[in-house]
């Protein structure tokens, strides 16, 4: 495939815009498509409407050199890359409405010979579903050819980049490319080869879909194991961090870290797509989701128990983001915990320390008993100090600030940072969390 061809990237979010920028700075003409007017305008000004290191430079260069522009309507193109959200519905069934809307925008633009790549994390069978939807709309086109009708090619190529490292990992990570036909796999591999230096592994579309879900489910199950160990350890009076560090000395054991729960849009969502497709076979994956989803409530009850005898409990909560050293609060277990504290400790003062944001999210700002504070103000007169996110900024805190406090340290952070022994008063919660 010639590098002078046009790619339409549908969805200019955390994955679509970096992909568009990578292609536009590697020989392609890229038209980004988004339903949001402010996003389209920002991109056309060469700006990025969210935080991602280095992305701004790529977008600015591409827009300036005329290889990237954005619009609301889907254009004609040689390649279409769909990178829109795939959330789940109330019952954890995948919501395909965004990818269906993208497909409906692409269908009238096709004339034959195009490649449609689904990048959105998708349940097994989604690529086939999209192909059928487009071809039902366009009976003059076909998937396999051989009957005189022009062919349209379909592939799934899931993204695997880590937020905060997207522009590096887009280039260095291996990728899985799964076509509905082998020709589609080869065409899609050629597209990614223009900017990806990792290996490009071709397979069929459903294997590619399931591989992506498997990667995030593997991590979720491993984190659930760590979270379960943390609750077992609380009950038995063992330090879970020491326990895991010792177990990981075994050459074939590698347990991840417990925490306040699993946040973000990927690990907490993708396993449900497997469960939803094969509920009877996915018992472990479902249970892991339930264990991780129950962890914020467990932490909440630990804090409540420590605060229970105090008339006006002052709680210092360190960290709101869904993981360390980012400003992303979406689907954060820490936000859930603070919200629960605000509701249950109405006589309390909850001071939140989050060095990566300037104001509380609306969900927390509505509570009069929750304020954003700096670490010193929050900790000085706190009765309970709660560590929810292992931000690097918290490593330099003065150990004196947490001396003599009740501590709920979900990241095993203060024991290591201060040498302070584990607080034996932190209770294992009485009830089973599940
Ligand atoms: N977490 C723990 N313990 C750990 C590791 C993580 O509790 O030992 C928690 C984090 O605090 C966070 C959540 O898990 O709340 C998810 O964080 P993460 O760093 O594991 O993953 P994400 O959601 O930022 O990105 C994941 C990555 N997938 C894998 O590592 C298998 C990334 O490569 C994917 O591209 C991304 O999902 C995605 O888009 O699917």
Q: Which ligand 1 atom lies nearest to the CA of residue 215?
A: 31
Pocket of ligand 1 contains residue 163 by CB under 6 Å:
yes
Residue 153 alpha carbon to ligand 1 centre in Å? 32
Q: What pLDDT score was predicted for residue 90?
A: 84
266 part of the active site: yes
Pocket test for ligand 1, best of 219, 247, 291, 329 (most atoms within 8 A of CB): 219
Question: Going by DSSP bridges, is the β-strand pair 153-156/115-118 parallel, antiparallel, or unpaired?
Answer: parallel
Task: For helices 283-307 and 270-277, give the axis angle rounded to 10 degrees.
Answer: 130
For the stretch 222-272, pLDDT in tens is 999 999 999 999 999 999 999 999 999 999 999 999 999 999 989 999 999
179 Cβ neighbours under 8 A, 6+ residues apart: 153, 154, 155, 156, 185, 186, 187, 188, 202, 204, 205
Residue 176 alpha carbon to ligand 1 centre in Å? 19
For the stretch 283-333, pLDDT in tens is 999 999 999 999 999 999 999 999 998 999 999 999 999 999 888 898 999
Where do the domains of the chain lie, and which CATH numbers do they carry? 6-198 (3.40.50.720), 215-421 (3.40.50.720)
For the stretch 145-186, pLDDT in tens is 889 999 999 999 999 998 889 999 999 999 999 999 999 999
Q: How buried is residue 115: exposed, middle or buried, by Cβ count under 10 Å (0-12/13-18/19+)?
A: buried
Q: Which ligand 1 atom lies nearest to the CA of residue 15?
A: 39
212 part of the active site: yes
Pocket of ligand 1 contains residue 256 by CB under 6 Å:
yes
Q: Which ligand 1 atom lies nearest to the CA of residue 264?
A: 23
Residue 267 alpha carbon to ligand 1 centre in Å? 6
Q: What pLDDT score was predicted for residue 432?
A: 39
**Lowest model confidence (mean pLDDT) among 27-36, 75-84, 152-161, 408-417:** 408-417
Residue 326 alpha carbon to ligand 1 centre in Å? 12
The model's pTM? 0.91
- In SS3 terms, the chain reads as CCCCCEEEEECCCCCHHHHHHHHHCCCCEEEEECCCHHHHHHHHCCCCCCCCCCHHHHHHHHHHCCCEEEECCCCCCCEEEECCCCCECCCCCECCHHHHHHHHHHHHHCCCCCEEEECCCCCCCHHHHHHHHHHHHCCCCECCCCCCCCECEEEECCCCCCCCCHHHHHHHCCEEEEECCHHHHHHHHHHHHCCCCCCEEEEEHHHHHHHHHHHHHHHHHHHHHHHHHHHHHHHHCCCHHHHHHHHCCCCCCCCCCCCCCCCCCCCCCHHHHHHHHCHHHCHHHHHHHHHHHHHHHHHHHHHHHHHCCCCCCEEEEECCCCCCCCCCCCCCHHHHHHHHHHHHCCCCEEEEECCCCCCCCHHHHCCCCEEECCHHHHHHCCCEEEECCCCHHHHHCCHHHHCCCEEEECCCHHHHHHCCCCCCCCCCCCCCCC
Pocket of ligand 1 contains residue 266 by CB under 6 Å:
yes
Q: Whose CA is nearest to atom 34 of ligand 1?
A: 160
Catalytic residue among 196, 266, 323, 411: 266
For the stretch 335-344, pLDDT in tens is 999 999 999 9
Pocket test for ligand 1, best of 170, 216, 412 (most atoms within 8 A of CB): 216
**Average pLDDT over all residues of the chain:** 93
Q: Which ligand 1 atom lies nearest to the CA of residue 212?
A: 40
Q: What pLDDT score was predicted for residue 396?
A: 87
Pocket of ligand 1 contains residue 263 by CB under 6 Å:
yes
Residue 72 alpha carbon to ligand 1 centre in Å? 31
Pocket test for ligand 1, best of 220, 231, 266 (most atoms within 8 A of CB): 266
Q: What pLDDT score was predicted for residue 431?
A: 42
């Amino acid at each position: 495939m010639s590098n002078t061809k046009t790619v339409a990237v549908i969805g200019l979010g955390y994955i679509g815009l970096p992909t568009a920028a990578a292609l536009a700075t590697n020989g392609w003409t890229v038209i980004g498509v988004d339903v949001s007017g402010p996003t389209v305008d920002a991109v056309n000004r060469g700006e990025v409407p969210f935080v991602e290191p280095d992305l701004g430079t790529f977008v600015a260069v591409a827009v300036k050199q005329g290889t990237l522009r954005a619009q609301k309507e889907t254009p004609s193109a040689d390649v279409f890359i769909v990178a829109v959200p795939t959330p789940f519905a109330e019952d954890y069934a995948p919501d395909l409405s965004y990818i269906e809307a993208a497909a409906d925008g692409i269908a009238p633009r096709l004339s034959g010979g195009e490649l449609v790549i689904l990048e959105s994390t998708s349940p097994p069978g989604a690529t086939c579903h999209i192909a059928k939807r487009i071809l039902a709309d366009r009976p003059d086109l076909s998937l396999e050819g051989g009957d005189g009708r022009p062919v349209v090619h379909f592939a799934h190529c899931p993204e695997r980049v880590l937020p905060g490292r997207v522009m590096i990992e887009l280039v260095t990570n291996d990728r899985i490319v799964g076509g509905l036909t082998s020709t589609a796999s080869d065409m899609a591999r050629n597209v990614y080869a223009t900017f990806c230096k990792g290996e490009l592994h071709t397979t069929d579309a459903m294997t590619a879909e399931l591989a992506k879900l498997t990667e995030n489910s593997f991590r979720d199950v491993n984190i659930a194991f760590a979270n379960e160990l943390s609750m077992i350890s609380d009950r038995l009076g063992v330090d879970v961090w020491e326990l895991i560090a010792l177990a990981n000395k075994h050459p074939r054991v590698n347990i991840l870290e417990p925490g306040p729960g699993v946040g973000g849009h990927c690990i907490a969502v993708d396993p449900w797509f497997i469960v939803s497709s094969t509920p009877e076979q996915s018992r472990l994956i479902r249970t892991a989701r339930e264990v991780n989803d129950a962890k914020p409530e467990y932490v909440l009850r630990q804090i409540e128990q420590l605060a229970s005898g105090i008339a006006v409990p002052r709680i210092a909560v360190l960290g709101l983001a869904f993981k360390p050293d980012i400003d992303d609060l979406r689907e954060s277990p820490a936000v859930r915990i603070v919200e629960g504290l605000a509701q249950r400790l109405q006589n309390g003062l909850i001071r939140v320390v989050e060095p990566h944001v300037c104001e509380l999210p609306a969900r927390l700002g509505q509570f009069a008993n929750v304020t954003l504070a700096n670490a010193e103000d929050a900790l000085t007169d706190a009765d309970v100090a709660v560590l929810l996110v292992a931000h690097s900024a918290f490593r330099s805190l003065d150990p004196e600030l947490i001396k003599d406090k009740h501590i709920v340290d979900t990241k095993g952070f203060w024991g290591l940072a201060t040498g302070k022994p584990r607080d034996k008063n932190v209770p294992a919660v009485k009830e089973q969390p599940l």
